[in-house]
Amino acid sequence: MFCGAGIASHDTFSRVFSLLDANQFEACFMGWMQQLCPQLKEQLIPIDGKSVRGSHDGMQAAIHLVSAWHSQAGVVLGQVKTAAKSNEITAIPELLDALDVQGATVTIDAMGCQHAIVEKIVQKKADYIVAVKDNQPSLAQAVASLFDASADSLEQNTTTDKGHGRIETRRCVVAPDLSAMPTSLRQSWTGLRRVVMVESTREVINGKNKGQCSTERRYYISSLQASASEFNAKVRAHWGIENSCHWVLDMAFDEDDCRIRKGDGAQNFAVLRRMALNLIKQDKSGKTSFRGKRMKAGWSPDYLQTLLGLRPL
């Protein structure tokens, strides 16, 4: 990337990364992460998709990436590009095939509530917690009916959090007895052992909407035999991929504003951003923001070498 005149130009970087084979680059990224996180047993692995909005070009839609997040370590384990958001259904099994998730718990939103996906997770000797919505109407109706009359008599756990001008109360209820579900429906979901309801109540305590309350119920199917408190924690931890990954990529790396779109450039730069995110996540030396640490890495060769593992932290 260097020449006699100094650092290569913007156009040179763009041209090189647009020509790199994106699938090979992704494979190298996942291979690197597999070495850093070789054992995922007993870990929580949320999977979710994100569009790189600025990568659209005329008739070409913005690329959509499905990523696996290591909840405890706070790093991206891998990603797969899809042709569209709806293609997450085919991308998730591909991503699972590339990762050794044996012994882990995989969490997915309702887009991943598919027979083939839960079967793939069980085949990989992992457990699942998958959200249920109306894309599976028979399942959604059967799951909701388990809690309509008997929720108060089932095992439950309640937590309360205060922040951002509101109080949120989360009540998690677990149904261990699934015999009331139609047998054919129950048996069609590989490994199904528990059905879970999380009821969230939010009360606004500041501002013009002070006193306003809202309640939402969300339902999940799972292969885990866990307590209500464990399910409550795992369901909430799933959103780490949104708050600690997708949000950071947009706010600290301006991913949605990036207009790289020629060839495989958008996909390859998405991998680079996730590599940088993972490296910065490993630096616990101070409370500087992600954006600040990026700037510091550009200004300080010593700090850059520390992030790259060439100097001790």
Strands 155-163 and 166-175, sheet pairing: antiparallel
Contact 268, 17 (CB under 8 A): yes
Confidence at residue 5, expressed as pLDDT on a 0 to 100 scale: 61
Backbone angles phi, psi at 160, to 5 degrees: -130, 130
233 and 243 housed in the same domain = no
CATH of the domain at 60: 3.30.420
Taking alpha carbons only, the member of 189, 41, 183 closest to residue 114 is 189
Using only the alpha carbons of the chain, give its radius of gyration. Answer: 22
Give the number of other Cβ atoms within 10 Å of residue 151's Cβ.
15
Question: 196 and 266 in one domain?
Answer: no
Same-domain check for residues 49 and 102:
yes
Residue 134 inside a domain? The answer is yes
230/262 same-domain check: no
In this structure, the answer to whether residues 188 and 105 fall within a common structural domain is no
Res 83: pLDDT: 65
In the chain, what is the greatest distance between 2 CA atoms, to the nearest angstrom? 76
Residue 228 belongs to a domain: yes
Q: Is residue 10 part of a domain?
A: no
- The total number of structural domains in the chain stands at 2
Out of 203, 237, 271, a domain closes at 237
Residues 231 and 244 in one domain: no
Tokens representing 215 are: 């309640």
| Whether residue 220 is found in the same domain as residue 135 | yes
Res 12: pLDDT: 83
Are residues 119 and 190 in contact, defined by beta-carbon separation less than 8 angstroms? yes
Tell me what pLDDT residue 313 has: 61
Say whether both 196 and 220 belong to one domain: yes
Please list the pLDDT of the chain residue by residue as tens digits (313 residues): 445 566 778 788 888 888 888 888 888 898 888 887 777 888 999 999 998 888 887 667 788 899 999 999 999 999 998 866 557 888 999 999 989 999 999 999 999 999 999 999 999 999 999 999 999 999 999 999 999 877 888 999 999 998 778 899 999 999 999 999 999 999 999 999 999 999 999 998 887 878 789 999 999 999 999 999 999 999 999 999 999 999 999 998 999 888 888 888 888 999 999 999 999 988 888 788 888 998 998 899 899 898 888 776 6
Domain identity same for 105 and 244: yes
Q: Which domain holds residue 262?
A: 21-109+238-282
What is the C-alpha to C-alpha distance for residues 249 and 48, in angstroms, rounded to an integer? 14
**CA 279 to CA 306: how far, in whole Å?**
9
Instruction: Map residue 269 onto helix, strand or coil.
Output: helix
Bridge-based pairing state of the strands 75-82 and 64-70: antiparallel
Question: 160 with 213, same domain?
Answer: yes
Are 142 and 231 in the same domain? yes
